[in-house]
Structure 1
């Protein structure tokens, strides 16, 4: 009797919701998710390079600052960091809008994790490369820019690409600080239609497609770098 009382929705009902929600979610991905990923990854790489260089430098204060920064970011959840920036700072009269708050949070996070990748890549280059540079009267900056970093880039491409792909998925956390990215759009539509499973599954599918495309690009980039090195 209970089963007979269940009213199944017409399949066309679900199809209409999926179709009508597709464009808003794609706009959320195009206007917020992807720009947020690109901006934060770019800023994060700069922070990562500076942090990595600070950690391998002979200047102790720089080492301590870099280690403290990496320890704090890697030792606390990303969601907590976003909440502190967006919801916590207003208590000391520092208010940041949702998108800039997300940029700051994700950039700091990427910078800490990617710094370890870059540091390991730089240290993987044989010391003889440095000595060869000094032997032809190149200074530290020239050796780093012309000899070490180009080789380190090739080594760090695979793990940095994985970081970028992970960042695409992590941007869904920005919905919790009111950034209207793709998952936030799915939440808003689900709140009015009550089709949570359908819409969250649709969002998951879009994330998967984006990450699948990025994985293909990653493989091609790695192949090109391997060919470049082999020649």
Structure 2
């Protein structure tokens, strides 16, 4: 057996298009998921108790079931409750909801890890709640949750492969089609593995760089 480079080259446009879909869905899910997760964490910590109970139940359900089952139910079961989405919007929505549940737990633990003495010192200094949030809570929480956020973001990239189950034209679906058409699964999935590895490595490096720069900023302004 030999690795057929010609097959890879002739399918570069299709692979690049699918790669763009993967990037778009991943980026959108990370943005919407982190915003939603932050809102859930804030509501659970400072919102009314009944709201906290409902959000906790939501998070437990999402974290307690496989993403494959969730996206399958959303896409194929959604029309039964009046929620009919095309494959890409359904994939983006499902992945964003999944991400929000996990990001919310990261933010929640970040809030809880802030030393109470820092908050008490802010009160003694006469900080308003908004000033405490902006100058104490958010900077310290960011430092605490950044590694976990990077890890979760990398996991979200890998979860985009699951969207092939609802025919989202992302990387895994495209290379599966190429492999089936040409009986060249080794070539096609090797390219996929390299692309995912490259994105994962890039994301990890960016996270470490952000953590280092944020640490220097915090210490220089402390």
**Would you say how many aligned residue pairs link Structure 1 and Structure 2?**
220
Match of residue 85, structure 2, among 54, 76, 96: 96
Does 1:18 pair with 2:21? Answer: no
Does 1:77 pair with 2:66? Answer: yes
Q: Deviations over 1:17-72 (max 9, x none)?
A: 12222332122112x11111111111111111111122223621121011101110
Q: How big is the shift at 1:137?
A: 4.7
Q: How big is the shift at 1:78?
A: 0.3
- The CA distance in 1 between the partners of 2:40 and 2:11, in whole Å, is 42
Residue in 1 aligned with 2:17? 27
- The CA distance in 1 between the partners of 2:210 and 2:45, in whole Å, is 28
Q: Deviations over 1:192-227 (max 9, x none)?
A: 112122212221111111111222212211111222
Q: Deviations over 1:146-184 (max 9, x none)?
A: 320121111111110111111111101111111111111
Unaligned runs of 5+ in 1: 1-7
Q: Which has the higher Rg, Structure 1 or Structure 2?
A: 1
Residue in 2 aligned with 1:65? 54
Residue in 1 aligned with 2:196? 207
Residue in 2 aligned with 1:37? 26
- The CA distance in 2 between the partners of 1:211 and 1:94, in whole Å, is 33
Length-normalised TM-score, structure 2: 0.91
Match of residue 133, structure 1, among 118, 122, 129: 122
Unaligned runs of 5+ in 2: none
Does 1:180 pair with 2:158? Answer: no
The root-mean-square deviation of aligned C-alpha atoms, in Å, is 1.8
- The CA distance in 1 between the partners of 2:47 and 2:82, in whole Å, is 38
Q: Deviations over 1:102-138 (max 9, x none)?
A: 1111111111111111111111112233233334554
- The CA distance in 1 between the partners of 2:83 and 2:98, in whole Å, is 20
SS of residue in 2 equivalent to 1:168 = helix
Residue in 2 aligned with 1:4? none
Does 1:144 pair with 2:133? Answer: yes
Q: Which runs of 4+ in 1 moved over 6 A?
A: none
- The CA distance in 1 between the partners of 2:42 and 2:97, in whole Å, is 16
Residue in 2 aligned with 1:195? 184
- The CA distance in 2 between the partners of 1:111 and 1:135, in whole Å, is 34
